[in-house]
Chains A and B, each alone.
Chain A
Amino acid sequence: MSGRRARWGLERHLHPGAWWLWAIGLATAASRTTNPVLLLLLIAVVSTVVVSRRSDAPWARAFRLYLWLALLIVVVRVVFRVLFGAGPGGTVLLGLPEVGLPAWTSGLRLLGPVTAEAVLAGLYDGLRLAAMVVCIGGANALANPKRLLKAMPGALYETGTVVAVAMSVFPQLAESVLRVRVARRLRGDRAGVRTGVTAIRSIVIPVLEDALERSLRLAAAMDSRGYGRSGQATPLARRVTATLTVGGLLGICIGIYATLDGSSPRYLAAPLLLGGVLAAGAGFVLTGRRVNTSRYRPDRWRTGELMAAGCGIATGVLLWASSWVDPMQLYPSLVPLGWPTVSWLPLVAVLVGVLPAVLTPRPPPDPGAGSGGAALGSVDQQPVTEPATRAPQGVR
């Protein structure tokens, strides 16, 4: 135990990009199969890693919501299959009467006999989507969104600042609505006297005035602290970089879709993806060159990050490879009905994804979380606590 710790490092937060790469690798794997055994295993793998490597932050606790969402997806898929029935034939599980629909809905059926094939098809399909959702949820739970924002390339710096400011402004706005609403009561508001437009106005106007003043103050503060110091680009340069970036991102989107969707034309997949990456990369580099800001305590890619990202990518690639070796395993047959079987290659592929649960450093305990008593000012006199002295870990 202690030997492994020394090898894989002290407790620290992993680079958020590593967790996202891991999750995307697993999601890619999920998209290439409908085998329920593999998919359930994949969900179990993601859950294991999340449980063993998440912090106490609020976003980490949201993982459960993704699991519920996944369950909902599966249920909805199956219910739809039952509602709209399947074609004739197959193993009938339940002989529901078919509801007669007008002729113009040709092809659409309502209810009718429930077949095992239809239910299983819904289940397999739903499970595939559910597994992908759980993968994304896992990335959300493990990667700190604020640190992800900081890890953005220089070109996205300004967008990142906007998002960061917005994230801190919304709670303030909510707070000021609450404060003004309570203050209105001091002027003797009661139902019947002040309704509709007047009531809204009496809250909206002070809140908006407050928000406007806040944003002006914030703008002044940011200006005085050097925001936007770096040089300005010429209009032409700006247009070129914008075209490159947006065009490249579009290419990446289409390319990823085509890659994941096995049925779309192949020339849309790899070539477009590659071209998109190149164009967007060029755009980012050009824009990034204008930004002369530096990063405080940037997350670095170290063994732990490489492990996490590598395991995720390995899962995706291995499963992909197995689809050439034995595609029938990944898409279990419905006609004729058969038990899904699993051979060793896809099984190993999925199991590789669980390795980050032991190969990556643990997250540090969260000292600042939930310090509700801080408002009392009672924490003022505390001596420098242990977390503060332990701070330099994780860098270097």
Chain B
Amino acid sequence: MIRLDHVTVTYPGVPEPTLRDVDVTIPEGELVLVTGRTGSGKSTLLGLLNGLVPHFTGGHVQGSVTIDGVDTRRHPPRELAHLVGVVGQDPLMGFVTDTVEDELAYGMEQLGTPPDLMRKRVEEALDLLGIADLRRRPLRALSGGQQQRVAIGSVLTAHPRVLVLDEPTSALDPTAAEEVLAAITRLVHDLAVTVVLAEHRMERVVQYADDMLLLCGDGAVHQGSPGVLLADAESVPPVVRLGRYAGWSPLPLSVRDARRAAGPLRAALAQAEAAAPAPVRDCRVRRPALTAAGVSVRHGQLVAVREVDLTLNDGEVTALMGRNGSGKSSLLWALQGSGPRSAGTVDVDGADPRDGSSARRRRLVGLVPQTASDLLYLETVAAECASADRESAVAKGTAGSLLDRIVPGLGRDLHPRDLSEGQRLALVLAVQLTAAPRVLLLDEPTRGLDYGAKLAFGNVVRDLAGEGRAVVLATHDVELVAEVAERVVVLAEGEVVADGAVAHVMGGSPALAPQVSRILAPSPWLTVADVERALAASSAPPHVSQVTQ
């Protein structure tokens, strides 16, 4: 179905080719997962498949790409529209019309599909993706998962043979991600659509993938089955890491497979737990840094946050979770004082951050918003740092040294827009930390970060908490929460529905439990590191399965 024949892509002004001598064949009806670090050429690879590279982006392509026998060199993307459907990272940006039904029909209108057939296909797509009840709704009023499904439906109506998806679940909460993935797998199974999908959140997708393309960052692409490729990849989902640690073979890719193999490990862990009690995470009594009582936020008719009482403690990392639209962002903005708050009190060091100037507010509570780049507007990293020093009235170079601590050696004359997602997040974090706030709120910070960047970010967060700051992390990423946070607060419809230690809140939850916890339930372990520590403490041999076999 898809054939890349010794393809090399070079962009002007970049000395090294982004993709080098890629030779890949993808048969019909496969689900192929594309992974690799940020900047390793994933987007370029996806763009090749419908001719956006080079027809739209420019650049020089050697070799040939053929889709179902059609050469993309001679056909621009619009002439491949009936063959390849592409869904971009942010579906909202790719919507042309403004209601669900019109959007589903748009592609077919371009292809000149007869109205009768169009009508039928729209109804089919509505059913296939489970969005029939949304048909007349405006696209902007949909939730992220619904938008993603509409975007998939809007390319499906043209009946493409290949579906290309760029990060389809990155921005979604776990449940919405499940819905989108269920729709995708149904297409692969029932309609024999070939799906090529790039995703940083590998743990969500890898179990469905038939094949995997691993981009190494030097332009080379490895093709192979996920089980083989992940055996020695550097960034892997927790289930694979646990499998590697325990020496399971073949390497499990899904929780179900891992659970089957995990019997001996669970027994060993139970022994270890009996010998030395489970490591209860740091639970000494802490001083409250921020106390919120009865906080409510109202946007017009909509009550986004309803009478929330919350205490954030010094040196504690709190994860704020809940589905899209459950009021997480509204709560963070209200706590910081810059957002609206219709009722309740917030107290930081005896002061309400809402009173007083925004500069003073910033010294009490720092907030990194969801679109962090909104805070950046200057031409260079150095200028942003200098401006941050001035804004916080601190000694020159404070922001710069903070930045060096987070990402050492970041080029000072780079343009902030040219940084990778992780570097840009680090820069905004440094800018906000310049004011030395006692409380730091982070809204969806790991969106678009790859495994490596996420790991680095996790370390930074732990360091910040170690210095005594209260850190709040609003996120959908359960694995990150398991790694970093000590406490989880779950919001639903603006109300706190759970507040407690990570193991208690996430352990038994069907949606929020991290992979390791699902594999080892009912034991309270959440991460591979926890397991390693527990077994090391009880001096049990690491390769449990081999010993017991």
Interface residues of A (CB under 8 A from B): 146, 161, 164-165, 167-168, 171, 179-180, 182-190, 193, 201-203, 205-206, 209, 213-214, 217-230, 292-298, 367-368, 371-380, 382-385, 387-388, 391, 395
Contacts and interface: CB of A to CB of B under 8 A. Distances in A.
Given A297-B119, A298-B115, A189 B77 contact: no
Contacts of A224: 50, 52, 77-78, 80-81, 84-86, 155
B444 to A, nearest CB: 14
A377 B322 CA distance: 11
A384 to B, nearest CB: 5
B358 A296 contact: no
B78 A228 contact: yes
A371 B301 CA distance: 11
Contacts of B417: 209
A214 B133 contact: no
Interface string B385-401: 00010011000000000
Given A164-B96, A375-B141, A377-B325, A221 B86 contact: yes
B137 A374 contact: yes
Interface in B137-163: 137-138, 140-143, 145-146, 154-155, 158
B136 A367 contact: yes
A132 to B, nearest CB: 31
B498 interface: no
Contact of B93 (A217, A376, A378): A217
Nearest to A389: B132
Contacts, number: 212
Interface in B338-380: 338-339, 357-359, 361-362, 366-367, 369, 371, 373-377
Nearest to B135: A388
Contacts of B336: 186
B108 interface: yes
A226 B82 contact: yes
| Of listed B81, B323, B367, B435, residue having the most chain A CB within 10 A | B81
Interface residues of B, number: 88
Contacts of B77: 220, 223-224
B214 interface: no
B276 to A, nearest CB: 43
Given A227-B78, A229-B110, A298-B115, 7 more contacts: A180-B374, A182-B338, A206-B376, A225-B154, A229-B111, A367-B136, A377-B325
B280 interface: no
A223 B78 contact: yes
A201 B377 contact: yes
A225 B155 contact: yes
Given A186-B375, A378-B493, A368 B136 contact: yes
A188 B391 contact: yes
Interface stretch (B5-13, B99-107, B471-479): B99-107
Contacts of B248: none
B158 A220 contact: no
A298 B105 CA distance: 12
Nearest to A208: B377
A185 B367 CA distance: 10
Nearest to A294: B112
- Among B82, B133, B137, B145, max chain A CB count under 10 A is at B133
A188 B392 contact: yes
Contacts of B357: 188, 190
